[in-house]
Amino acid sequence: MKTSDIILKMISYSGGNLHDINHFIKVYTFAKLIGEGEKLDERTQKILEIAAIIHDIACPLCRKKYGNTNGKYQEKEGIIIAEEFLNDSGLSDEIKDRIVYLVGHHHTYDSVNGLDYQILLEADYIVNADESCYSKENIQSALKKIFKTGTGITLFKSIYLL
């Protein structure tokens, strides 16, 4: 399954929720940009891009089940939903497992194990900072604590700190 097919499937899955659709499209775009800037190999870039597309796949369920989209709920529920979503994707089990792992950890900032994971955190934060109107203090703290890639740091600074 091509990345564009997964985007279309995720748009359909989102049930017309424009916030969710716009959010994952923005995270996907920033993840793709940072991944290419960091010169990821083709396999890792594909994993990153698909994980960015489906990273918030549990949000609709979390809204119904918990009344909010708390990151820990998203991670817990997202693992199961992402596995189901990718079943007919034609991706290898190894690639699917990594994508599901990333979906299940995209709000966990410690024990980051891989550039795909790091970039997903950075891309999601860039979008969340805008959508949630993070304070200047929060943004400056995130630059020190979250951002590690050269491309992500440059991008983040040029968006929020100029």
CA-based nearest residue to 127, from 45, 28, 36, 58: 28
Q: What is the pTM of this model?
A: 0.95
Q: Does the CA dihedral 130-135-138-143 come out positive or negative?
A: positive
Spell out the per-residue pLDDT of the chain, length 162, in tens: 899 999 999 999 999 999 999 999 999 999 999 999 999 999 999 999 999 999 999 999 999 999 998 889 999 999 999 999 999 999 999 999 999 999 999 999 999 999 999 999 999 999 999 999 999 999 999 999 999 999 999 999 999 987
Number of Cβ within 10 Å of residue 14's Cβ equals 19
